[in-house]
Amino acid sequence: MPHVPEFTVFWVDELAGRAETIAAISADAAVAQVLGEHPNARAKAVPAEAVEGCNRTRLLWEWMG
């Protein structure tokens, strides 16, 4: 079975904001998974290894900024 890459998806809606890791075939597919559960959210995906070792909560706040 081929390896499915992981993406960190930053999302925010009127109630919450999160950064979560999602396995998906592409960044767009990862965002689509989040928007399927949170249709009113704004979301952005980056390769999980790009934020490895970073403070994801701080990155989320900067992205929301």
**12-65 residue pLDDT tens:** 999 889 999 999 999 999 999 999 999 999 999 999 999 999 999 999 999 887
Q: Judge whether 57 lies within some domain.
A: yes
For 61, the enclosing helix (H) or strand (E) is helix 56-64
Give the pLDDT score at 22: 96
Handedness of CA 55, 36, 29, 44 (dihedral sign): negative
* 35 in any annotated domain: yes
Residue in this structure with the two tokens 């904001």, named with its chain if needed: 17
Q: How many domains does the chain have?
A: 1
Residue 3: the pLDDT is 84
Is 1 domain-assigned? Answer: no
Residue 46 lies in a domain: yes
**pLDDT higher than threshold 90 for residue 2:** no
